[in-house]
Chains A and B, each alone.
Chain A
């Protein structure tokens, strides 16, 4: 008898391709727990992902899944949901895929309030291609394409979600497993455009160079110590900055007419 959690994983595809200790693996665990707890119909669920390390997640969930071109998971998902509203449509991808090339689609899907869930692994770099700077890389970070430290302000995913009209948005880390699972479940069940941002710095290409941390255990300790859970806060204030406390929590939860 398969455990309720195991039933959501394509166990014949394990072990996953991510580095040992990668936050994506833990996020996968939380996601599968959330799917279980949400009790949604497994045969009517579609997981759509883009290109990058996080994008590989669609290969491991045991439901209809689709791996699109870079940045285009959200409009593909919109097509799916509009064509068959009965389906539970979840986009699960990375910060580079969703918030560099894909930002435009994020904004418009949120604006339309299409009933899909968007889960974003924010690992602060383009991990699959060896750690180039991403729109979400905190200013001053050292990456392979910003060896002197990046000079760009990090994109504030939460503020963007608010400005675009998302009905639900939260930010957790891969290490706050209980809160993350709960938030994912909420986002999956919520009617309207729902967003969950998961902070999980890439170990070899970000955490190593910028946090001087090189193991899951050390990163988890760091985030549990340096995160501050806030509820009522102006979202423009929570842009991720190097060497500053990280604000996490459930930020947006409103009702709006669906598309």
Chain B
């Protein structure tokens, strides 16, 4: 697939960088519906995709957008959509369909204040749990969270690669602040950008995961038009893709859909840390608040307080192991979030009961300042 190589140095907002990351990853289909604060992604894709023989279409609503993304993926084109909270809520049923049919695709949620119409022009980080549990039923999902326009570029490529490798929708949870922030972005040259595409079958029997189990628990994917004549359904199905409404089929299928992410979480989880090795007090954060959290930790160290920072770059699957280890060492863990406490619940779940967990919350619109985080570290 042709990639228009934009190697170089740019001054981009997060949304633009995200769109360019998608193009660098080989995305040649975008279907979306305009919503604040994500619409710049669609506008940018609209200006770039046609010259690359890509398709960018504005659909009548977010539900249609997500359906079209699935259709494109099955026809062999890497596909993406971008929205915000209200649109993401509409897309959930088809995200569930993507999970159940193991359709690779990327969904960007540029989070704004919620619930409902909320704060269209002010950011939040309040859709974290929704990304994990929003669709009905049991499943595992992958969600990534950039904290800079550079990461919007890099993590979008990562998102496409993960979605192709694990045949699962990958959600990119950009907070509205990072999406509209403008910063330096370096686009590496083609040779250093790694791209992963779905495993394709060599014969029909390959698509049935039973016949060729691999470590990843992910069957090869036959695209439409390759002559495999596959049937795919959102109903619980057997290994050939045909409906099988039985307890046995349900347990077999759902266990595999869960295991393919859970058992590979070591390969999927991304975290970043500073000053954590000897830290008594740890700050765990993600997105824009990680920028202020790092500043607070540095100031604390200057005051001889052993503080450290763990940044969650992937939010789902949650880094359980890391939290367990950290809580054995740190006496206090602070979790600043621009929501009423979402990731902190996961931290509480896995942390040692002797560790003090301190949530620092803002319901939407304001970044948790370095001063505030520092105050909580020092108190």
Binding site for B on A (CB under 8 A): 10, 13, 42-44, 46, 48, 58-59, 62-69, 72, 75-84, 86-87, 104-105, 107-108
Contact between chains at B74 and A68 (CB < 8 Å): no
Segment of B208-216, B232-240, B292-300 in the binding face: B232-240
Segment of B65-73, B120-128, B306-314, B371-379 in the binding face: B65-73
Contact between chains at A64 and B229 (CB < 8 Å): yes
Contact between chains at B68 and A79 (CB < 8 Å): yes
Q: How many A-B residue pairs have CB under 8 A?
A: 126
Residue of chain A at shortest CB distance from B29: A83
Residue of chain A at shortest CB distance from B97: A69
Contact between chains at A44 and B225 (CB < 8 Å): yes
Q: Told that A62-B229, A79-B29 touch, could you supply 18 new A-B pairs with CB distance under 8 A?
A: A44-B225, A48-B71, A58-B233, A64-B228, A64-B229, A64-B230, A65-B230, A67-B234, A69-B67, A69-B93, A72-B94, A79-B79, A80-B71, A82-B57, A84-B75, A84-B77, A84-B224, A108-B64
Contact between chains at A72 and B29 (CB < 8 Å): no
- Give the docked Cα–Cα distance between A13 and B237 (Å): 14
Chain A residues with CB below 8 A from B344, complex form: none
Chain A residues with CB below 8 A from B67, complex form: 68-69, 72, 75-76, 78-79, 105
B96, B226, B227, B232: the one contacting A65 at CB < 8 Å is B232
- Known contacts A62-B229, A84-B76, A84-B225; A79 and B243 CB within 8 A of each other: no
Residue of chain B at shortest CB distance from A108: B60
Determine if B217 is an interface residue (Cβ-Cβ < 8 Å): no
A13, A65, A68, A77: the one contacting B97 at CB < 8 Å is A68
B188 to chain A, nearest CB (A): 28
- Give the docked Cα–Cα distance between A213 and B178 (Å): 64
In the assembled complex, 29 residue pairs joining A and B whose CB atoms fall closer than 8 Å, in A order, are A13-B242, A43-B227, A46-B225, A59-B243, A63-B229, A64-B224, A65-B229, A65-B230, A65-B232, A66-B101, A66-B232, A67-B233, A68-B97, A69-B93, A69-B94, A69-B97, A76-B67, A76-B71, A78-B68, A79-B29, A79-B70, A79-B73, A80-B74, A82-B72, A83-B29, A83-B71, A104-B60, A104-B61, A108-B64
Residue of chain B at shortest CB distance from A259: B57
Residue of chain B at shortest CB distance from A84: B75
